Structure 1
Amino acid sequence: MRGHGRVAGLPEWDRCAVMGVVNVTPDSFSDGGRFFDATTAVKHGLDLVAQGADLVDVGGESTRPGAARVDEAEELRRVVPVVRGLASEGVAVSVDTMRASVAERALAEGALLVNDVSGGLADPAMIPVVAEAAAPFVVMHWRGFLEGPNVRGVYADVVSEVVTELRARIDAVVDGGVRADRIVIDPGLGFSKDAEHDLTLLAHLDRLADLDRPVLVAASRKRFLGRVLASPDGAPPPARERDAATAAVSAIAAHQGAWAVRVHEVRPTADAVRVARAVAGARTATGAGTTEGAL
Protein backbone atom coordinates (compact mmCIF):
# COMPACT_ATOMS: atom_id res chain seq x y z
CA MET A 1 0.00 0.00 0.00
CA ARG A 2 1.23 3.51 -0.76
CA GLY A 3 2.24 5.25 2.48
CA HIS A 4 -0.07 6.01 5.37
CA GLY A 5 -1.93 8.83 3.65
CA ARG A 6 -2.89 12.35 4.62
CA VAL A 7 -6.43 13.32 5.57
CA ALA A 8 -7.26 17.00 5.12
CA GLY A 9 -8.60 18.50 8.33
CA LEU A 10 -6.75 16.09 10.63
CA PRO A 11 -3.26 16.06 12.15
CA GLU A 12 -0.57 14.29 10.16
CA TRP A 13 1.44 11.46 11.69
CA ASP A 14 4.65 9.88 10.41
CA ARG A 15 3.27 6.39 11.10
CA CYS A 16 0.02 4.52 11.27
CA ALA A 17 -2.25 6.40 13.69
CA VAL A 18 -3.98 4.73 16.62
CA MET A 19 -7.70 5.35 17.12
CA GLY A 20 -8.91 4.39 20.59
CA VAL A 21 -12.51 3.27 21.10
CA VAL A 22 -14.92 4.71 23.67
CA ASN A 23 -18.25 2.88 23.53
CA VAL A 24 -20.90 4.79 25.50
CA THR A 25 -23.27 1.85 25.26
CA PRO A 26 -24.63 -0.91 27.48
CA ASP A 27 -24.43 -3.59 24.79
CA SER A 28 -21.23 -3.39 22.71
CA PHE A 29 -19.75 -6.81 22.07
CA SER A 30 -16.53 -6.36 24.07
CA ASP A 31 -16.99 -3.60 26.64
CA GLY A 32 -20.69 -2.79 26.80
CA GLY A 33 -21.64 -0.95 29.97
CA ARG A 34 -18.10 -0.28 31.18
CA PHE A 35 -18.07 3.38 30.09
CA PHE A 36 -21.78 4.12 29.92
CA ASP A 37 -21.68 7.16 32.17
CA ALA A 38 -20.31 10.35 30.53
CA THR A 39 -17.77 11.16 33.27
CA THR A 40 -16.36 7.63 33.14
CA ALA A 41 -16.31 7.67 29.35
CA VAL A 42 -14.39 10.96 29.22
CA LYS A 43 -11.88 9.68 31.75
CA HIS A 44 -11.45 6.50 29.70
CA GLY A 45 -10.85 8.55 26.55
CA LEU A 46 -8.18 10.60 28.31
CA ASP A 47 -6.59 7.37 29.59
CA LEU A 48 -6.46 6.06 26.01
CA VAL A 49 -4.66 9.22 24.90
CA ALA A 50 -2.18 8.80 27.76
CA GLN A 51 -1.58 5.24 26.53
CA GLY A 52 -0.80 6.41 23.00
CA ALA A 53 -4.08 7.01 21.15
CA ASP A 54 -3.87 9.71 18.49
CA LEU A 55 -7.65 9.94 18.07
CA VAL A 56 -10.58 8.78 20.19
CA ASP A 57 -13.67 7.36 18.49
CA VAL A 58 -16.85 7.95 20.52
CA GLY A 59 -19.94 5.88 19.76
CA GLY A 60 -23.35 5.63 21.37
CA GLU A 61 -24.86 2.76 19.40
CA SER A 62 -23.67 -0.83 19.16
CA THR A 63 -23.20 -2.24 15.65
CA ARG A 64 -22.71 -5.85 16.71
CA PRO A 65 -24.87 -8.44 14.89
CA GLY A 66 -28.45 -8.36 16.16
CA ALA A 67 -28.04 -5.20 18.22
CA ALA A 68 -31.21 -3.10 18.54
CA ARG A 69 -30.92 0.49 17.34
CA VAL A 70 -31.24 3.23 19.94
CA ASP A 71 -33.42 6.23 19.21
CA GLU A 72 -31.96 9.56 18.18
CA ALA A 73 -32.51 11.30 21.52
CA GLU A 74 -30.77 8.53 23.44
CA GLU A 75 -27.80 8.44 21.09
CA LEU A 76 -27.40 12.20 21.42
CA ARG A 77 -27.64 11.93 25.21
CA ARG A 78 -24.88 9.35 25.26
CA VAL A 79 -22.49 10.88 22.76
CA VAL A 80 -22.62 14.68 22.98
CA PRO A 81 -21.32 15.17 26.56
CA VAL A 82 -18.43 12.77 25.92
CA VAL A 83 -17.42 14.46 22.67
CA ARG A 84 -17.66 17.87 24.37
CA GLY A 85 -15.60 16.73 27.35
CA LEU A 86 -12.82 15.15 25.29
CA ALA A 87 -12.65 17.97 22.73
CA SER A 88 -12.38 20.53 25.53
CA GLU A 89 -9.26 18.69 26.68
CA GLY A 90 -7.69 19.00 23.23
CA VAL A 91 -8.33 15.40 22.17
CA ALA A 92 -8.79 14.67 18.45
CA VAL A 93 -12.28 13.16 18.54
CA SER A 94 -14.05 11.00 15.99
CA VAL A 95 -17.78 10.33 16.28
CA ASP A 96 -18.96 6.83 15.41
CA THR A 97 -22.53 7.26 14.19
CA MET A 98 -24.91 6.47 11.35
CA ARG A 99 -27.16 9.45 12.15
CA ALA A 100 -26.69 12.84 10.52
CA SER A 101 -28.16 14.66 13.53
CA VAL A 102 -25.64 13.05 15.87
CA ALA A 103 -22.77 13.79 13.51
CA GLU A 104 -23.87 17.42 13.20
CA ARG A 105 -24.08 17.94 16.97
CA ALA A 106 -20.79 16.14 17.59
CA LEU A 107 -19.00 18.29 15.00
CA ALA A 108 -20.46 21.40 16.62
CA GLU A 109 -19.08 20.21 19.98
CA GLY A 110 -15.58 19.76 18.60
CA ALA A 111 -15.40 16.36 16.89
CA LEU A 112 -13.04 16.40 13.90
CA LEU A 113 -14.03 13.22 12.06
CA VAL A 114 -17.25 11.33 11.29
CA ASN A 115 -16.90 7.54 11.29
CA ASP A 116 -20.06 6.12 9.69
CA VAL A 117 -20.08 2.33 9.34
CA SER A 118 -22.76 2.68 6.67
CA GLY A 119 -20.74 5.15 4.61
CA GLY A 120 -23.72 7.48 4.51
CA LEU A 121 -26.22 4.83 3.40
CA ALA A 122 -28.19 4.55 6.66
CA ASP A 123 -29.20 8.22 6.74
CA PRO A 124 -29.62 10.21 3.49
CA ALA A 125 -28.93 13.43 5.40
CA MET A 126 -25.43 12.31 6.45
CA ILE A 127 -23.51 13.26 3.32
CA PRO A 128 -24.98 16.81 3.13
CA VAL A 129 -24.12 17.35 6.81
CA VAL A 130 -20.53 16.16 6.36
CA ALA A 131 -20.14 18.16 3.15
CA GLU A 132 -21.48 21.35 4.75
CA ALA A 133 -19.10 20.97 7.69
CA ALA A 134 -16.17 20.09 5.40
CA ALA A 135 -15.44 17.27 7.85
CA PRO A 136 -13.26 14.23 7.22
CA PHE A 137 -15.42 11.13 6.70
CA VAL A 138 -14.81 7.40 7.06
CA VAL A 139 -16.56 5.36 4.37
CA MET A 140 -16.82 1.74 5.44
CA HIS A 141 -17.78 -1.19 3.22
CA TRP A 142 -21.35 -1.95 4.27
CA ARG A 143 -24.07 -4.24 2.99
CA GLY A 144 -26.79 -3.27 5.43
CA PHE A 145 -27.62 -3.73 9.09
CA LEU A 146 -26.26 -6.92 10.62
CA GLU A 147 -29.44 -8.91 10.84
CA GLY A 148 -30.90 -11.82 8.90
CA PRO A 149 -28.92 -12.62 5.72
CA ASN A 150 -26.73 -9.52 6.11
CA VAL A 151 -24.87 -11.10 9.03
CA ARG A 152 -22.98 -13.31 6.57
CA GLY A 153 -22.26 -11.87 3.15
CA VAL A 154 -21.77 -13.98 0.04
CA TYR A 155 -18.79 -13.18 -2.16
CA ALA A 156 -17.26 -14.78 -5.24
CA ASP A 157 -14.09 -12.68 -4.75
CA VAL A 158 -14.25 -10.70 -1.50
CA VAL A 159 -11.30 -8.43 -2.25
CA SER A 160 -12.44 -7.41 -5.72
CA GLU A 161 -16.03 -6.93 -4.60
CA VAL A 162 -15.11 -4.83 -1.57
CA VAL A 163 -12.83 -2.63 -3.70
CA THR A 164 -15.50 -2.21 -6.38
CA GLU A 165 -18.26 -1.41 -3.87
CA LEU A 166 -16.04 1.02 -1.96
CA ARG A 167 -15.12 2.78 -5.21
CA ALA A 168 -18.80 3.26 -6.02
CA ARG A 169 -19.45 4.59 -2.53
CA ILE A 170 -16.53 7.02 -2.71
CA ASP A 171 -17.87 8.35 -5.99
CA ALA A 172 -21.33 8.82 -4.46
CA VAL A 173 -19.92 10.63 -1.43
CA VAL A 174 -17.82 12.94 -3.60
CA ASP A 175 -20.83 13.60 -5.82
CA GLY A 176 -22.66 14.55 -2.61
CA GLY A 177 -20.15 17.31 -1.93
CA VAL A 178 -17.53 15.71 0.35
CA ARG A 179 -14.01 16.48 -0.79
CA ALA A 180 -12.01 13.44 -1.88
CA ASP A 181 -9.03 14.49 0.25
CA ARG A 182 -11.24 14.18 3.36
CA ILE A 183 -12.35 10.59 2.73
CA VAL A 184 -10.95 7.58 4.58
CA ILE A 185 -11.92 4.04 3.58
CA ASP A 186 -12.51 1.02 5.81
CA PRO A 187 -12.86 -2.53 4.44
CA GLY A 188 -15.48 -3.31 7.09
CA LEU A 189 -13.97 -6.36 8.76
CA GLY A 190 -16.70 -8.43 10.39
CA PHE A 191 -19.53 -6.60 8.65
CA SER A 192 -21.35 -9.09 6.40
CA LYS A 193 -18.12 -11.10 6.31
CA ASP A 194 -16.98 -14.35 7.87
CA ALA A 195 -13.52 -15.12 9.26
CA GLU A 196 -12.11 -16.24 5.91
CA HIS A 197 -13.29 -13.03 4.25
CA ASP A 198 -11.69 -10.91 6.98
CA LEU A 199 -8.37 -12.72 6.79
CA THR A 200 -8.34 -12.51 3.00
CA LEU A 201 -8.94 -8.77 3.13
CA LEU A 202 -6.11 -8.33 5.64
CA ALA A 203 -3.83 -10.37 3.40
CA HIS A 204 -4.63 -8.09 0.47
CA LEU A 205 -4.82 -4.62 1.98
CA ASP A 206 -2.50 -3.52 -0.82
CA ARG A 207 -5.42 -3.89 -3.23
CA LEU A 208 -7.21 -1.05 -1.43
CA ALA A 209 -4.39 1.22 -2.62
CA ASP A 210 -6.13 1.21 -6.00
CA LEU A 211 -8.72 3.51 -4.39
CA ASP A 212 -6.03 6.06 -3.55
CA ARG A 213 -7.48 6.94 -0.16
CA PRO A 214 -6.12 6.47 3.40
CA VAL A 215 -7.25 3.19 4.97
CA LEU A 216 -8.64 2.59 8.46
CA VAL A 217 -8.43 -1.00 9.73
CA ALA A 218 -10.84 -1.88 12.55
CA ALA A 219 -10.09 -5.44 13.64
CA SER A 220 -10.09 -5.00 17.40
CA ARG A 221 -11.33 -8.06 19.32
CA LYS A 222 -13.51 -9.12 16.40
CA ARG A 223 -15.07 -12.50 15.78
CA PHE A 224 -12.50 -13.61 13.21
CA LEU A 225 -9.72 -13.24 15.80
CA GLY A 226 -11.72 -15.45 18.15
CA ARG A 227 -11.86 -18.01 15.36
CA VAL A 228 -8.09 -17.85 14.83
CA LEU A 229 -7.43 -18.19 18.57
CA ALA A 230 -10.05 -20.88 19.22
CA SER A 231 -9.17 -23.77 21.52
CA PRO A 232 -8.95 -27.32 20.12
CA ASP A 233 -12.65 -27.79 20.84
CA GLY A 234 -13.46 -24.72 18.72
CA ALA A 235 -14.37 -22.38 21.59
CA PRO A 236 -13.17 -18.80 20.94
CA PRO A 237 -11.64 -16.78 23.78
CA PRO A 238 -13.72 -13.91 25.20
CA ALA A 239 -13.45 -10.63 23.29
CA ARG A 240 -11.26 -8.99 25.94
CA GLU A 241 -8.70 -11.80 25.61
CA ARG A 242 -8.02 -10.93 21.96
CA ASP A 243 -5.89 -7.82 22.50
CA ALA A 244 -2.53 -9.43 21.71
CA ALA A 245 -4.00 -10.74 18.46
CA THR A 246 -5.40 -7.26 17.77
CA ALA A 247 -1.92 -5.76 18.23
CA ALA A 248 -0.57 -8.33 15.76
CA VAL A 249 -3.13 -7.21 13.19
CA SER A 250 -2.21 -3.59 13.92
CA ALA A 251 1.45 -4.33 13.14
CA ILE A 252 0.45 -6.07 9.90
CA ALA A 253 -1.84 -3.20 8.90
CA ALA A 254 0.80 -0.58 9.73
CA HIS A 255 3.41 -2.50 7.74
CA GLN A 256 1.04 -2.51 4.76
CA GLY A 257 0.56 1.25 4.95
CA ALA A 258 -2.76 1.64 6.77
CA TRP A 259 -3.50 5.23 7.79
CA ALA A 260 -4.93 4.19 11.17
CA VAL A 261 -6.06 1.22 13.24
CA ARG A 262 -9.08 1.34 15.55
CA VAL A 263 -8.63 -0.55 18.84
CA HIS A 264 -10.09 -0.97 22.31
CA GLU A 265 -6.80 -1.62 24.14
CA VAL A 266 -4.40 1.09 23.01
CA ARG A 267 -0.99 0.46 24.56
CA PRO A 268 -0.11 -2.84 22.78
CA THR A 269 -1.16 -1.39 19.43
CA ALA A 270 0.66 1.91 20.06
CA ASP A 271 3.80 -0.16 20.62
CA ALA A 272 3.10 -2.32 17.56
CA VAL A 273 2.73 0.58 15.12
CA ARG A 274 5.86 2.24 16.44
CA VAL A 275 7.84 -0.96 15.92
CA ALA A 276 6.42 -1.24 12.40
CA ARG A 277 7.50 2.35 11.74
CA ALA A 278 11.01 1.69 13.09
CA VAL A 279 11.42 -1.41 10.93
CA ALA A 280 10.21 0.48 7.85
CA GLY A 281 12.67 3.26 8.66
CA ALA A 282 15.54 0.78 9.00
CA ARG A 283 14.60 -0.80 5.68
CA THR A 284 14.62 2.60 3.99
CA ALA A 285 17.95 3.52 5.57
CA THR A 286 19.69 0.33 4.42
CA GLY A 287 18.08 0.14 0.99
CA ALA A 288 15.02 -1.86 0.00
CA GLY A 289 17.08 -4.05 -2.27
CA THR A 290 19.39 -5.37 0.46
CA THR A 291 19.10 -9.16 0.80
CA GLU A 292 21.97 -9.93 3.18
CA GLY A 293 20.63 -11.84 6.14
CA ALA A 294 17.24 -12.39 4.53
CA LEU A 295 15.08 -15.08 6.06
Structure 2
Amino acid sequence: MALIKRPKLKTPTLKSLRPALDPILNPVLRRGRKSSQPDDFGTQGQPIDRSHPFYFGFIATAGVLTCLTFFKALGSASQVFVLIIISLFFAAGLNPAVLFFQRRGLTRGLSVASVVSVVLLFVALFLWIAIPPIIDQVNSLISNAPQLIGNLKNNSVIASLNEHYAFIDTLQKKVDENIQNGQIAIGAFGGVIGVGKAFISGTFAFLTILVLTLYFLSSLPKVTQIAYRFAPASRRERISKISDAIIGRIGAFVGGQVSVSAIAGIVMLIVALVLKLDYSFALGL
Protein backbone atom coordinates (compact mmCIF):
# COMPACT_ATOMS: atom_id res chain seq x y z
CA MET A 1 0.00 0.00 0.00
CA ALA A 2 1.51 3.21 -1.12
CA LEU A 3 1.99 5.96 1.38
CA ILE A 4 0.41 9.34 0.52
CA LYS A 5 2.84 12.15 1.01
CA ARG A 6 1.36 15.18 2.60
CA PRO A 7 2.58 18.54 1.35
CA LYS A 8 4.79 20.36 3.76
CA LEU A 9 3.24 23.43 5.27
CA LYS A 10 5.38 26.50 5.21
CA THR A 11 5.96 28.08 8.54
CA PRO A 12 4.80 31.71 8.39
CA THR A 13 7.62 34.21 8.87
CA LEU A 14 7.55 37.71 10.30
CA LYS A 15 8.01 39.18 6.82
CA SER A 16 5.03 37.27 5.45
CA LEU A 17 2.85 38.36 8.33
CA ARG A 18 3.43 42.05 7.55
CA PRO A 19 0.60 43.72 5.64
CA ALA A 20 1.27 44.84 2.11
CA LEU A 21 2.32 48.45 1.85
CA ASP A 22 -0.25 50.56 0.11
CA PRO A 23 1.49 53.16 -2.10
CA ILE A 24 -1.35 55.58 -1.48
CA LEU A 25 -1.71 55.16 2.27
CA ASN A 26 2.00 54.84 3.08
CA PRO A 27 3.60 58.34 3.44
CA VAL A 28 7.08 57.12 2.49
CA LEU A 29 5.97 55.64 -0.80
CA ARG A 30 3.69 58.57 -1.46
CA ARG A 31 6.60 60.99 -0.93
CA GLY A 32 8.76 58.93 -3.31
CA ARG A 33 6.11 59.05 -6.00
CA LYS A 34 5.75 62.80 -5.60
CA SER A 35 9.51 63.41 -5.77
CA SER A 36 9.67 61.79 -9.17
CA GLN A 37 7.13 64.24 -10.56
CA PRO A 38 7.87 67.97 -10.91
CA ASP A 39 5.81 70.28 -8.72
CA ASP A 40 3.36 72.45 -10.55
CA PHE A 41 3.34 75.94 -9.05
CA GLY A 42 1.86 77.68 -12.02
CA THR A 43 3.37 79.81 -14.71
CA GLN A 44 6.31 81.96 -13.60
CA GLY A 45 5.64 85.67 -13.87
CA GLN A 46 7.73 88.35 -15.46
CA PRO A 47 10.82 89.55 -13.50
CA ILE A 48 10.64 92.88 -11.70
CA ASP A 49 11.44 95.80 -13.93
CA ARG A 50 14.25 97.55 -12.09
CA SER A 51 14.09 100.51 -14.41
CA HIS A 52 10.54 101.31 -13.31
CA PRO A 53 10.28 104.65 -11.41
CA PHE A 54 8.30 103.03 -8.58
CA TYR A 55 11.02 100.44 -7.98
CA PHE A 56 13.73 103.13 -7.99
CA GLY A 57 11.70 105.33 -5.62
CA PHE A 58 11.11 102.43 -3.22
CA ILE A 59 14.80 101.45 -3.11
CA ALA A 60 15.90 105.10 -2.76
CA THR A 61 13.41 105.69 0.08
CA ALA A 62 14.56 102.54 1.88
CA GLY A 63 18.18 103.64 1.52
CA VAL A 64 17.46 107.13 2.85
CA LEU A 65 15.53 105.74 5.83
CA THR A 66 18.37 103.34 6.58
CA CYS A 67 20.93 106.17 6.47
CA LEU A 68 18.77 108.41 8.67
CA THR A 69 18.31 105.63 11.22
CA PHE A 70 22.03 104.91 11.22
CA PHE A 71 23.02 108.55 11.69
CA LYS A 72 20.38 109.02 14.38
CA ALA A 73 21.80 106.04 16.26
CA LEU A 74 25.28 107.50 15.88
CA GLY A 75 24.06 110.86 17.14
CA SER A 76 22.46 109.35 20.23
CA ALA A 77 25.69 107.48 21.03
CA SER A 78 28.08 110.15 19.77
CA GLN A 79 29.71 110.69 23.18
CA VAL A 80 30.53 106.99 23.47
CA PHE A 81 32.04 106.93 19.98
CA VAL A 82 34.10 110.03 20.77
CA LEU A 83 35.52 108.35 23.88
CA ILE A 84 36.32 105.20 21.87
CA ILE A 85 38.07 107.21 19.14
CA ILE A 86 40.10 109.16 21.72
CA SER A 87 41.10 105.90 23.42
CA LEU A 88 42.15 104.37 20.09
CA PHE A 89 44.20 107.47 19.31
CA PHE A 90 45.95 107.32 22.68
CA ALA A 91 46.58 103.59 22.27
CA ALA A 92 48.08 104.10 18.82
CA GLY A 93 50.16 107.00 20.12
CA LEU A 94 51.55 105.04 23.08
CA ASN A 95 52.13 101.86 21.09
CA PRO A 96 55.71 102.84 20.00
CA ALA A 97 56.67 103.29 23.66
CA VAL A 98 55.24 99.84 24.44
CA LEU A 99 57.20 98.34 21.54
CA PHE A 100 60.33 100.05 22.89
CA PHE A 101 60.00 98.21 26.21
CA GLN A 102 59.12 94.96 24.42
CA ARG A 103 62.35 95.13 22.43
CA ARG A 104 64.15 95.36 25.77
CA GLY A 105 62.81 91.94 26.77
CA LEU A 106 59.63 92.82 28.69
CA THR A 107 56.29 91.21 27.97
CA ARG A 108 53.54 93.31 26.46
CA GLY A 109 51.64 93.39 29.75
CA LEU A 110 54.64 94.72 31.68
CA SER A 111 55.43 97.14 28.86
CA VAL A 112 51.88 98.53 28.94
CA ALA A 113 52.02 98.82 32.73
CA SER A 114 55.34 100.69 32.54
CA VAL A 115 54.12 103.15 29.89
CA VAL A 116 50.81 103.82 31.64
CA SER A 117 52.59 104.28 34.98
CA VAL A 118 54.90 106.89 33.45
CA VAL A 119 51.93 108.72 31.88
CA LEU A 120 49.92 108.71 35.11
CA LEU A 121 52.98 109.86 37.05
CA PHE A 122 53.41 112.79 34.66
CA VAL A 123 49.70 113.69 34.96
CA ALA A 124 49.91 113.58 38.76
CA LEU A 125 53.06 115.74 38.70
CA PHE A 126 51.35 118.23 36.38
CA LEU A 127 48.30 118.49 38.64
CA TRP A 128 50.47 118.82 41.76
CA ILE A 129 52.42 121.70 40.20
CA ALA A 130 49.65 123.41 38.21
CA ILE A 131 46.64 123.30 40.54
CA PRO A 132 47.99 125.57 43.36
CA PRO A 133 48.86 128.46 40.99
CA ILE A 134 45.50 128.11 39.27
CA ILE A 135 43.66 128.28 42.59
CA ASP A 136 45.70 131.32 43.67
CA GLN A 137 45.05 133.13 40.40
CA VAL A 138 41.33 132.37 40.48
CA ASN A 139 41.06 133.62 44.06
CA SER A 140 43.00 136.74 43.13
CA LEU A 141 40.73 137.36 40.14
CA ILE A 142 37.61 136.94 42.26
CA SER A 143 38.84 139.27 45.00
CA ASN A 144 39.99 141.93 42.51
CA ALA A 145 36.98 141.63 40.20
CA PRO A 146 35.08 144.64 41.66
CA GLN A 147 38.16 146.85 41.37
CA LEU A 148 38.82 145.70 37.80
CA ILE A 149 35.23 146.42 36.82
CA GLY A 150 35.40 149.83 38.51
CA ASN A 151 38.55 150.68 36.56
CA LEU A 152 36.54 150.40 33.35
CA LYS A 153 34.95 153.71 34.24
CA ASN A 154 38.30 155.41 33.66
CA ASN A 155 37.72 154.93 29.94
CA SER A 156 35.80 157.92 28.59
CA VAL A 157 33.75 155.93 26.08
CA ILE A 158 32.76 153.27 28.60
CA ALA A 159 32.03 155.93 31.23
CA SER A 160 29.74 157.75 28.78
CA LEU A 161 27.86 154.56 27.98
CA ASN A 162 27.59 153.77 31.69
CA GLU A 163 25.94 157.13 32.33
CA HIS A 164 23.17 156.27 29.87
CA TYR A 165 22.73 152.54 30.49
CA ALA A 166 24.44 151.96 33.89
CA PHE A 167 25.64 148.53 32.80
CA ILE A 168 28.94 148.89 34.67
CA ASP A 169 27.14 149.69 37.91
CA THR A 170 24.76 146.76 37.42
CA LEU A 171 27.61 144.38 36.68
CA GLN A 172 29.62 145.58 39.66
CA LYS A 173 26.61 145.18 41.96
CA LYS A 174 25.99 141.66 40.67
CA VAL A 175 29.64 140.67 41.17
CA ASP A 176 29.68 142.09 44.70
CA GLU A 177 26.58 140.08 45.63
CA ASN A 178 28.03 136.84 44.26
CA ILE A 179 31.36 137.38 46.02
CA GLN A 180 29.66 138.05 49.33
CA ASN A 181 27.51 134.93 48.97
CA GLY A 182 30.43 132.85 47.72
CA GLN A 183 28.42 131.77 44.66
CA ILE A 184 30.53 133.23 41.84
CA ALA A 185 32.52 130.04 41.18
CA ILE A 186 29.46 127.80 41.56
CA GLY A 187 27.39 130.07 39.35
CA ALA A 188 29.93 129.74 36.56
CA PHE A 189 28.99 126.04 36.29
CA GLY A 190 25.23 126.56 36.51
CA GLY A 191 24.75 126.11 40.24
CA VAL A 192 25.43 123.28 42.64
CA ILE A 193 23.77 120.71 40.38
CA GLY A 194 25.85 121.92 37.45
CA VAL A 195 29.06 121.52 39.45
CA GLY A 196 28.08 117.99 40.46
CA LYS A 197 27.16 117.02 36.91
CA ALA A 198 30.38 118.48 35.52
CA PHE A 199 32.48 116.63 38.10
CA ILE A 200 30.70 113.30 37.59
CA SER A 201 30.77 113.51 33.79
CA GLY A 202 34.44 114.51 33.78
CA THR A 203 35.40 111.70 36.14
CA PHE A 204 33.40 109.16 34.13
CA ALA A 205 34.96 110.30 30.86
CA PHE A 206 38.47 110.14 32.32
CA LEU A 207 37.98 106.64 33.75
CA THR A 208 36.36 105.42 30.52
CA ILE A 209 39.22 106.71 28.39
CA LEU A 210 41.76 105.23 30.82
CA VAL A 211 40.14 101.77 30.81
CA LEU A 212 39.61 101.71 27.04
CA THR A 213 43.17 102.90 26.41
CA LEU A 214 44.53 100.15 28.65
CA TYR A 215 42.41 97.56 26.84
CA PHE A 216 43.30 98.72 23.33
CA LEU A 217 46.95 99.15 24.22
CA SER A 218 47.31 95.71 25.79
CA SER A 219 45.44 93.88 23.02
CA LEU A 220 46.21 96.11 20.04
CA PRO A 221 47.72 93.30 17.89
CA LYS A 222 44.72 91.03 18.54
CA VAL A 223 42.23 93.85 17.92
CA THR A 224 43.83 94.74 14.60
CA GLN A 225 43.97 91.10 13.49
CA ILE A 226 40.27 90.65 14.31
CA ALA A 227 39.43 93.85 12.43
CA TYR A 228 41.42 92.71 9.38
CA ARG A 229 39.27 89.56 9.12
CA PHE A 230 36.28 91.68 8.15
CA ALA A 231 38.10 92.81 5.02
CA PRO A 232 37.78 90.79 1.79
CA ALA A 233 40.40 88.06 1.48
CA SER A 234 41.67 89.51 -1.81
CA ARG A 235 42.40 92.88 -0.17
CA ARG A 236 43.19 91.79 3.38
CA GLU A 237 46.97 91.94 2.99
CA ARG A 238 46.91 95.44 1.52
CA ILE A 239 44.45 96.72 4.14
CA SER A 240 46.54 95.26 6.96
CA LYS A 241 49.72 96.90 5.66
CA ILE A 242 48.01 100.28 5.23
CA SER A 243 46.42 100.07 8.69
CA ASP A 244 49.74 99.15 10.32
CA ALA A 245 51.34 102.11 8.54
CA ILE A 246 48.59 104.43 9.81
CA ILE A 247 49.06 103.20 13.39
CA GLY A 248 52.80 103.73 13.04
CA ARG A 249 52.31 107.28 11.70
CA ILE A 250 49.98 108.14 14.58
CA GLY A 251 52.57 106.89 17.06
CA ALA A 252 55.28 108.92 15.34
CA PHE A 253 53.05 112.02 15.39
CA VAL A 254 52.32 111.67 19.11
CA GLY A 255 55.99 111.02 19.84
CA GLY A 256 56.99 114.09 17.83
CA GLN A 257 54.47 116.29 19.64
CA VAL A 258 55.70 115.02 23.01
CA SER A 259 59.30 115.79 22.02
CA VAL A 260 58.41 119.30 20.82
CA SER A 261 56.41 119.96 24.00
CA ALA A 262 59.28 118.71 26.17
CA ILE A 263 61.79 120.99 24.41
CA ALA A 264 59.43 123.99 24.66
CA GLY A 265 58.77 123.28 28.34
CA ILE A 266 62.47 123.02 29.18
CA VAL A 267 63.24 126.28 27.36
CA MET A 268 60.32 128.04 29.07
CA LEU A 269 61.42 126.74 32.47
CA ILE A 270 64.97 128.03 31.95
CA VAL A 271 63.69 131.46 30.85
CA ALA A 272 61.27 131.66 33.78
CA LEU A 273 64.01 130.74 36.26
CA VAL A 274 66.40 133.30 34.77
CA LEU A 275 63.76 136.05 34.85
CA LYS A 276 62.60 134.92 38.31
CA LEU A 277 58.96 134.69 37.25
CA ASP A 278 56.29 133.41 39.58
CA TYR A 279 55.26 129.79 39.14
CA SER A 280 58.23 128.94 36.93
CA PHE A 281 57.66 125.18 37.03
CA ALA A 282 53.97 125.59 36.22
CA LEU A 283 54.87 127.71 33.19
CA GLY A 284 57.41 125.10 32.14
CA LEU A 285 54.78 122.38 32.21
Q: Give the TM-score range, shorter chain.
A: under 0.3
Q: TM-score, normalised by structure 1?
A: 0.18
TM-score (norm 2): 0.19
Structure with higher RCO (Cα < 8 A, 6+ apart): 2
* Higher fraction of helix: 2
